[in-house]
Amino acid sequence: MDLDLSDLKTRVQQQIAGAKVNVESDGYYVTITVVSENFANMSAVQRQRTVYAALAELIADGRLHAVNIVAQTPTEAAAA
């Protein structure tokens, strides 16, 4: 995969101020875990859309195609 994981992290952090972001890859699939207070009043779909918005360019041009997003509030992440 010709994808810079630190670039993914930066894009998400720029989209969601104050978010804690972790990006992992097995060489094909990318898992992005985002923890933010901003998710507190959002549905699961709204959370996914918020993270996808940061990655839209990479998805559109095919650089990112197999992504799993975990989007949680700090309370949800602590309970997991």
User: Predicted confidence band at 80 (pLDDT cuts at 50, 70, 90)?
Assistant: confident
What's the confidence (pLDDT) of residue 79?
95
Phi, psi of 24 (to 5 degrees): -130, 150
What's the confidence (pLDDT) of residue 2?
66
Instruction: List the Cα angle 42/52/79 in 5-degree steps.
Output: 50
Provide the whole-model pTM: 0.92
What's the confidence (pLDDT) of residue 76?
97
**CA-to-CA distance for 33 and 23, rounded, in angstroms?**
6
Domain 5-79 class, CATH top level:
alpha beta
* 3-52 confidence digits (pLDDT tens): 899 999 999 999 999 999 999 998 889 999 999 999 999 999 999 999 99
Q: Residue 12, CB half-sphere, CA atoms under 13 Å: how many?
A: 27
* Cα-only R_g, the chain: 12
Judge whether residue 1 has pLDDT over 60.
no
